[in-house]
């Protein structure tokens, strides 16, 4: 009967010895786990930054396409005078001394003049520092819009249609 007690005591001694040999090992494991978690969080954060930049570029590109379609629809609505919409290449000029005017009211005597003035003000409001060209050759109208894009490899928006 005494043997089982010795066996239990030996097991306990071995377990205590093993625990003493492992002192501090749990702390090292925790530090490694925290390091791996930190690297993972940095990876997710950098992915989020790239995603936000791409979303911003996409939003500007969508605005440019919508603005090009807007002026093309204005030209179609006044299709008798497409040449009146021609604009040479240059910076868009807003109604408020070149800046965006949110309470803009057109003041030109012609429909085309009002349309171009309103469109340029919208362009300045939605795409600051935008460059624009409206080229009219016969019944073909080409709109080119370029703006300060962070990715210089991106091309400007060019929309061409026949009215």
pLDDT tens-place string over residues 85-94: 988 877 777 6
* Six token digits for residue 114: 């009002």
Q: Is residue 3 included in any domain, yes or no?
A: no
Number of domains making up the chain: 1
Q: Are 147 and 68 in contact (CB under 8 A)?
A: no
pTM greater than 0.85: no
pLDDT tens-place string over residues 20-72: 665 666 788 899 999 999 999 999 999 999 999 888 888 889 999 999 999 99
3-state secondary structure of 159: strand
Q: What mean pLDDT is reported for the chain?
A: 83
User: Rounded to a whole number, what is the largest CA-CA distance in the chain?
Assistant: 116
Q: Is residue 13 included in any domain, yes or no?
A: no
**How many of the other CB atoms lie within 10 Å of CB of 118?**
18
Q: Is residue 33 included in any domain, yes or no?
A: no
pLDDT beyond 70 at 123 = yes
Q: Is residue 144 included in any domain, yes or no?
A: yes
């Amino acid at each position: 009967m005494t043997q089982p007690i010795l066996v239990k005591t030996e097991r306990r001694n071995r377990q205590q010895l093993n625990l003493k040999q492992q002192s501090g090992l749990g702390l090292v494991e925790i530090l490694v786990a925290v390091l791996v978690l930190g690297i993972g969080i940095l990876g997710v954060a950098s992915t989020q930054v790239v995603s936000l930049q791409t979303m911003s570029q996409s939003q500007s590109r969508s605005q440019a396409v919508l603005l090009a379609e807007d002026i093309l629809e204005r030209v179609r609505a006044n299709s008798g005078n497409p040449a009146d919409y021609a604009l040479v290449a240059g910076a868009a000029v807003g109604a408020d001394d070149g800046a965006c005017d949110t309470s803009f009211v057109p003041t030109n005597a012609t429909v085309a003049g009002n349309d171009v003035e309103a469109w340029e003000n919208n362009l300045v409001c939605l795409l600051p520092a935008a460059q624009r060209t409206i080229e009219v050759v016969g019944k073909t109208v080409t709109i080119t819009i370029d703006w300060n894009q962070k990715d210089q490899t991106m091309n400007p928006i060019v929309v061409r249609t026949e009215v």
